[in-house]
Chains A and B, each alone.
Chain A
């Protein structure tokens, strides 16, 4: 079923004001920095945190609308939630944990046990059916939690950083399982994450939430190619400048001019990959090039490459070979020229 929401609430120091639409069969990842309100948004959708205003609609039915006095309690919303931590019931075995939701919704003991056993099998944990949560590893516990949620056949599925509590070794396996199950799951899926790899693996659309507001949303490929905020640019590893275009040149923030291959007018974003930036010790010559003079402020070697932070009329990150670092003696600081070809620059309306 589909999910659409217009959430307006205040909690602590956060004002969350976000609109969201997740189609019938869509998987959306909500990404954003810590404290942006991602978890709060998910809790509001599940009915765990009340709205001040706005509405939440699940499968065409309004489940939350404070102005109209509508507030369907969580247990009647049919939202499945996988929390950051497994939140299993300590006094129940794995099997009983998975059977819990089925029992709560009225299944007989036998039916619930049979259903739960099937789900444990499906997540590869039939052998821990009789164990209690304390006896499970972190990865196993989160698998049981996933099975417990999916067993109730929720109308929409909400996942709040489902891999966060799992250690690195178990993470790849669990991600693989999640990917598989999310693909099989028939309704809207919403995954909160701050990990771009997780987002790319589990979702086909991105919603970027920053400081309680949606700053960008769209298909994964579009958001990663055309970031609209510094946070997104950083997440996808692009340099991002904001400026005003007239024709094929853009005046960026501090008065630097960027030549582009595309002609636009008005406020624009300019994005380019760090490995499209070349560094020089002398002013370079060439056509259709953007050249800025500045200095190296930071140098991070990573294998045979290095990430170099450049401060000039614009601030940017360049990715160069370790050989270039040595040849240019970049570690010494001093004067440096950075250049980017106009054809390597992506420009799009702000």
Chain B
């Protein structure tokens, strides 16, 4: 009898994760799906989500990749501390991240005030603020995967490249990057998916302005609160499909060989 206990608990676990998905799919109004998604608010939110999440991915790559490289290949005092700091947003409640961003980049924040005084530019209630919030939360996914890839790759090919006359930049672009490309692709997919689903930090820091900072997760929440269930469900379905798409794309790396 005790042998069956883990199997039963495992089955319960599957039901626990699976049931909400079934519930969601069951309530989706399939016939009106097209019209719900092409309605102005939903369409705008989806487009904004796509733009901001890709923007966040670009920011994460621009800063996260060099950061991962330095963490993997250089030794310097405080490296462990830097790594912990960079990974912190992964475990930090997003709403806390949003508040922290506010005190740093908000109009009266440490850097935000200076930025506003110098350029008149503000991030709060601005699409770039949504990008920033999403990047803050999602960048650790890129740093962690890229650092592991840089660290574990076979360095011998880089040495061979040096003996062939390739300098550091040439080696990086032509040898290192192609070698870590599959891992980077996976990291980028995770980063993008996390940015796409970002809610807490975005609403806290960037606000909830339709067409400016109101991304799909924000609109879903608002629609559910205000009784527009069908729109919320239609948008949820889109995000669910995207998540599944990312998962299928990562199948080789994360789900092992079937």
Contact = CB atoms under 8 A, between A and B. Distances in A.
A75 B174 CA distance: 14
Contact of B162 (A73, A88, A89): A73
Contacts of A104: 161, 164-167, 170, 174
Nearest to A158: B163
Interface in A286-341: none
The interface size bin for chain A is 20 to 34
Interface stretch (B3-11, B133-141, B152-160, B221-229): B152-160
Contacts of B167: 73, 75, 104
A49 to B, nearest CB: 10
B165 A78 contact: yes
A50 B164 CA distance: 18
A239 interface: no
Interface residues of B, number: 18
Interface string A82-116: 01010111110000000011001100000000000
B165 A149 contact: no
Contacts of B175: 89
Interface string B117-161: 000000000000000000000000000000000000000110111
A149 B179 contact: no
Contacts of B165: 75-76, 78, 101, 104-105, 152
A80 interface: yes
A87 B166 contact: no
B249 interface: no
Contact of B166 (A90, A91, A100): A100
Contacts of B164: 75, 80, 100-101, 104, 148-149, 152
A100 B175 CA distance: 10
A46 interface: yes
Contacts of B160: 81, 83, 87-89, 145
B155 to A, nearest CB: 10
Contacts of A100: 161, 164, 166, 174
Interface string A215-226: 000000000000
Contact of B156 (A47, A74, A76, A83): A83
Contacts of B161: 89, 100, 104
A75 B166 contact: yes
Interface in A44-94: 46-48, 73-76, 78-81, 83, 85, 87-91
Nearest to B175: A89
B163 A90 contact: no
Contacts of A85: 156
Interface string B178-218: 11010000000000000000000000000000000000000
A149 B163 contact: yes
Given A73-B167, A75-B171, A105-B165, 9 more contacts: A46-B163, A48-B163, A73-B162, A74-B163, A75-B162, A83-B159, A91-B181, A104-B165, A104-B167
26 contacts: A48-B159, A73-B167, A75-B163, A75-B165, A78-B165, A80-B164, A81-B160, A81-B163, A83-B156, A83-B159, A87-B159, A88-B157, A89-B160, A89-B175, A89-B178, A90-B157, A91-B179, A91-B181, A100-B164, A100-B166, A101-B166, A104-B164, A104-B174, A145-B160, A148-B164, A152-B164
